[in-house]
Amino acid sequence: MTDAIINLDTINPIDFFGVNNGKLDLLKKRFPLLKILGRGTQLKLSGSPEQIDNAKEKIGLVVQYLERNGHLSDGYFEQIIGGDDPETVDHFVERNPNEVLVFGPNGKTVRARTANQKRMATASETNDIVFALGPAGTGKTYTAVALAVRALKNKSVKKIILTRPAVEAGESLGFLPGDLKEKIDPYLRPLYDALDDMIPADKLGYYMSTRTIEIAPLAYMRGRTLDNAYIILDEAQNATDLQIKMFLTRIGGNAKAIITGDMTQVDLPKSQKSGLIKAVRILKNINGIAHIELDEEDVVRHRLVKAIIKAYDREKVREDEMDAERIVVKRNYVTGGDTKA
């Protein structure tokens, strides 16, 4: 057995260990074969040389990140210590200022945080249409809005158009007071929230009043030609086949579009099918259209969101298996046990 001491003198140890040693516990779970002790500004590792070297590499990345940013969420901590994908590791090591997508108010920096978010950013540079699909919390919308704001600030486009299908997610807004805009705004709130992080309030107000930035329900896109614009269709899983076709055929000259969606959260009535799956399938091999798949490893919300997504995925597999068994049982009953009939 080998021992190793790691000094944490260049950072605040509390930021590394976490509240009530929460991050230290995550580190211990990641390396169960090591004995890990944290005291003061030191970390002591005991175990095999190979395990210690692996842990030291991950700990070094955590320290680098804290030196650069001063704060590290539990979710980021898990990504770093569990990031065996070279692109994920590179994201935390690189110090290239060009990685920043947008500088927001009060010095806030908006970055592509995960490997697949970085793929989104890269794909948007070389393709005019990007499909970004993945579960909740993977930063699809946030990254897409950041790319649009960057294009506007760089004068690559003259306007940003953000749209969503106005489909209820299990609740009804029809009886809320107010005019049409006030009834629709709750559907569009996530887009406003992202913009608030990236553009000062007074400038955002100016952009909205001059329609340099426009947020509208998908139905408002019909009949328009969108030139010199960065267009985002968010929550596209709630758009029908005709709506997605209508949206895609709005794209004009010098325009880019990002379509985001989560096929596990379709809120359309049972009588309607989502048009997103068909669009992804038939547009798969067209030059200039990119497809990015995000997953639970890209979740940048609370660390439990990743666990929740995995639990629902497991449950769906179980339900599909049960449905398949019911079909076989029903078929055997109808055919009298002859499954070949």
Helix (H, G, I), strand (E, B) or coil at 215: strand
Residue 176 CA, chain-centre distance (Å), reads 30
| 322 within domain boundaries | no
Is the pLDDT at 56 greater than 80? The verdict is yes
Q: What CA–CA distance (Å, rounded) separates 57 from 51?
A: 10
| 324 within domain boundaries | no
Residues 213 and 200 in one domain: yes
Widest Cα–Cα separation across the chain: 75
Residues 82 and 137 in one domain: no
Q: Which residue has the higher pLDDT, 294 or 299?
A: 294
Cα distances from 94 to residues 8, 72, 231, in angstroms, run 20, 16, 30
Average pLDDT, integer, range 87-99: 51
Mark out the alpha helices in 213-271 (DSSP H runs).
241-248
Q: How many domains does the chain have?
A: 2
Q: 132 in the Ramachandran plot: left (φ > 0), alpha (ψ -120 to 50) or beta?
A: beta
Among 57-66, 179-188, 247-256, 264-273, where is mean pLDDT lowest?
Answer: 179-188
Among 217-231, 246-260, 288-302, where is mean pLDDT lowest?
Answer: 288-302
Residues 81 and 184 in one domain: no
Q: Any residues with CB less than 8 A from the CB of 13 and at least 6 apart, and which?
A: 38, 40, 41
Residues 148 and 228 in one domain: yes
Pairing of strands 289-293, 129-133: parallel
Tokens of 325: 């068994």
Residues 141 and 84 in one domain: no
Q: What percent of the chain has pLDDT over 90?
A: 38
Place of tokens 């449950």: 315
Q: Which residue has the higher pLDDT, 251 or 308?
A: 251
pLDDT at 169: 44
pLDDT at 209: 93
Average pLDDT, integer, range 23-45: 91
Which domain CATH number covers 107? 3.40.50.300
Pairing of strands 35-39, 289-293: unpaired
Among 121-130, 214-223, 235-244, 327-336, where is mean pLDDT lowest?
Answer: 327-336
Place of tokens 């995995």: 310
DSSP string, 7-39: E-TTS-HHHHH-GGGHHHHHHHHH-TTSEEEEE
Is the pLDDT at 323 greater than 90? The verdict is no
pLDDT at 45: 93
Q: What CA–CA distance (Å, rounded) separates 23 from 19?
A: 8
Q: What CA–CA distance (Å, rounded) separates 289 from 245?
A: 14
Q: What percent of the chain has pLDDT over 70?
A: 83
Place of tokens 């590791």: 89
| 172 within domain boundaries | yes
pLDDT at 305: 67
| 335 within domain boundaries | no
Q: Rg of the chain over CA atoms, in angstroms?
A: 24
Q: Which residue has the higher pLDDT, 290 or 297?
A: 290
Q: What CA–CA distance (Å, rounded) separates 267 from 177?
A: 23
Helix (H, G, I), strand (E, B) or coil at 103: strand
Q: 228 in the Ramachandran plot: left (φ > 0), alpha (ψ -120 to 50) or beta?
A: left
Q: Which residue has the higher pLDDT, 245 or 174?
A: 245
pLDDT at 167: 62
What's the pLDDT tens digit per position in 94-153? Answer: 444 456 788 777 667 788 878 888 899 999 999 999 999 998 888 899 999 999 999 999
Residue 87's CB is within 10 A of a number of other CB atoms, namely: 12
| 51 within domain boundaries | yes
Residues 162 and 66 in one domain: no
Place of tokens 């010199």: 228
pLDDT-derived band at 48, boundaries 50, 70, 90: very high
Among 61-65, 81-85, 180-184, where is mean pLDDT lowest?
Answer: 180-184
Q: Which domain holds residue 286?
A: 98-301
| 316 within domain boundaries | no
| 328 within domain boundaries | no
pLDDT at 282: 94
Residues 145 and 128 in one domain: yes
| 47 within domain boundaries | yes
By the 10 Å C-beta count (0-12 exposed, 13-18 middle, 19+ buried), 118 is classed as: buried
Average pLDDT, integer, range 320-340: 69
**Total residue length of the chain:** 341
* Mean pLDDT score across all residues of the chain: 83
pTM: 0.62
pLDDT at 184: 67
What's the pLDDT tens digit per position in 194-210? Answer: 999 899 889 999 999 99
Backbone angles phi, psi at 216, to 5 degrees: -150, 155
Q: What CA–CA distance (Å, rounded) separates 232 from 53?
A: 44
Residues 195 and 285 in one domain: yes
Residue 86 CA, chain-centre distance (Å), reads 19
